[in-house]
Structure 1
């Protein structure tokens, strides 16, 4: 019996030794330089990981640039401010949403700042096929000297602040441009402009801007609900061969006048307030001008005021246009 136990123990020990040798053999990759091959594989894997890490954008600006050039629908959330180091790349992403979620030191929410550095451009389309869509939410755009967002598609701007920017031909422009709960203050030049542009404003404030018209459209239209144009140095709105409709909005203390309809303009003002808007002649004389109505070449629906027009400040290109100014609420929401 004792001999059998010794034989059994020897067999077990031999089996364990063989298994260990096989394990060493397999892990070494075979005879000869197998150990070198395994180490080379580990090194290659390490380099691959390093390359992937280097290719992954880490800074907020790099992440924004990568999102703009994505070929797929993308939602990017940023938690830090961005000071641009160059123009943003042309947007090739067909549908991009960028959301700012920054915090103050005490944890309160604030819009993330994107600073144009007084020379760089923002979100522009790459002139490729398709109708792009861009949505910008919770940002403070400042110090732009070229377009902030302009493309032949759809742009939506929500909860944004725009300051200290100066663009001659329009800081924002799109075939369909929607701006909600946002403020433009301390800017210079045209803020919204273009041809064949439809603009939808809701809860937007334009205050203390210069060099207007702030909104300048040709063969386009603008509708505004609960908007305020206050203390701007330059005309607030100018539309030719297009229309402007404002509801429950106010135009107060704007030099250069409040709203001008060029040739073939149509306007509707529902329960809007006009006060202290004026233009100054070359001789230095200031006169009240809330709404200016220009000439007609192809036709116009005229201008309607609900419930009634301002007592003064409705100026006509010529007296024979008086029939185009009406007191009516037919076009206003019930």
Structure 2
């Protein structure tokens, strides 16, 4: 009994000492004088995550602005419409791709809308540092811009887009190389595409009920395949010191004529349709005008129609230019 009593007393005596040691260790933050509390590390990590989340743009417009000013090649995917609250900043991203992937309420795909608010401009880059900027816009409805939608000394690609109700006095789109595919332009006013030394490529593009001229180039070239110019006002295409080439395309019911080739302009039309294009003369009368061929200063390849020119509507600035109009499929694909 005595031995059992002594053992129990010793154990009871140690209990306060152990508790005191544990209290000291916990309050010191570890087992040494330089210890770090585990709770401090968790708190620091949480704060870092919060800071990153706060710095990351959250609205679609903020994400677009961040992508435009990125210093690295960027692909941005948007799932919501954007109503601009100011001009987009100058584009510093060297190569930007913006893809829209919006849905209707019942889940069907639709293009995302970028709305210029009837006063703002879109994508603009100045280039520099030996970098040729590039921009690609895919699956968008671009509307209500009053200034340039996209301009840069580089490459612009527009694919699967709807462009409506924009009013820009000179050049909604302008680039050294401009490629537009499977897109529709309707209800726009002012020059859609303009510039010097510009190369424009069109594929399956519809221009309907716009006020132009739609495409105006000096020392530039425009080519199109399966395109349709319908019911536009002001003349769809005007090119001087450059070339026009269209394959299986149609020019129907345009006022102001269809294609104007100014001095030193040349054109090739392969299996194209011309119908109902006209100009209003100074006397107020309407005259059929599908292709107007102007003067020559430095030389031109003339105009070729495959398989043959329209019966009427090829208008020459002077009768001595008749030899420059030919019926030939030499420059057309087989």
TM-score, length-normalised on structure 2?
A: 0.91
The DSSP-based 3-state class of the residue aligned with 1:96 is strand
In 2: Cα distance, 1:313 partner to 1:144 partner: 35
**Equivalent residues in 2 for 1:62-101, closer than 5 Å:** 62-101=62-101
**Equivalent residues in 2 for 1:50-61, closer than 5 Å:** 50-61=50-61
The DSSP-based 3-state class of the residue aligned with 1:155 is strand
Give the CA deviation at 1:126: 3.7
Contact 1:75/1:97 (CA < 8 Å) preserved in 2?
A: yes
In 2: Cα distance, 1:13 partner to 1:331 partner: 102
RMSD of aligned residue pairs (Cα, Å): 2.9
In 2: Cα distance, 1:194 partner to 1:6 partner: 100
Q: 1:25 to 1:157 in 2, by over 3 A?
A: same
In 2: Cα distance, 1:95 partner to 1:29 partner: 54
Q: 1:42 to 1:309 in 2, by over 3 A?
A: same
1:120 aligns with 2:150: no
User: For residue 284 of structure 1, what is the aligned residue in structure 2?
Assistant: 284
User: For residue 252 of structure 1, what is the aligned residue in structure 2?
Assistant: 252
Q: 1:29 to 1:305 in 2, by over 3 A?
A: farther
In 1: Cα distance, 2:7 partner to 2:320 partner: 125
Q: 1:9 to 1:178 in 2, by over 3 A?
A: farther
The DSSP-based 3-state class of the residue aligned with 1:233 is coil
1:262 aligns with 2:262: yes
In 2: Cα distance, 1:290 partner to 1:101 partner: 39
Give the CA deviation at 1:56: 1.1
Contact 2:153/2:175 (CA < 8 Å) preserved in 1?
A: yes
Give the CA deviation at 1:54: 2.4
The DSSP-based 3-state class of the residue aligned with 1:206 is strand
In 2: Cα distance, 1:72 partner to 1:15 partner: 62
Q: Which deviates more from structure 2 when the two are superposed, residues 51-60 or residues 303-312?
A: 51-60
Give the CA deviation at 1:283: 2.0
User: For residue 155 of structure 1, what is the aligned residue in structure 2?
Assistant: 156
Q: 1:28 to 1:303 in 2, by over 3 A?
A: same
**Equivalent residues in 2 for 1:181-260, closer than 5 Å:** 181-210=182-211, 212-260=212-260
In 2: Cα distance, 1:147 partner to 1:29 partner: 67
Q: Which deviates more from structure 2 when the two are superposed, residues 287-296 or residues 40-49?
A: 40-49
Q: How many residues align?
A: 330
User: For residue 164 of structure 1, what is the aligned residue in structure 2?
Assistant: 165
Per-residue Cα deviation, 1:163-202 (whole angstroms, up to 9, x for no partner)? 0001111100100100000000000011011001000000
Per-residue Cα deviation, 1:269-323 (whole angstroms, up to 9, x for no partner)? 0000000000001221000000000000000000000000000000001000000
In 1: Cα distance, 2:14 partner to 2:255 partner: 101
1:137 aligns with 2:138: yes
User: For residue 179 of structure 1, what is the aligned residue in structure 2?
Assistant: 180
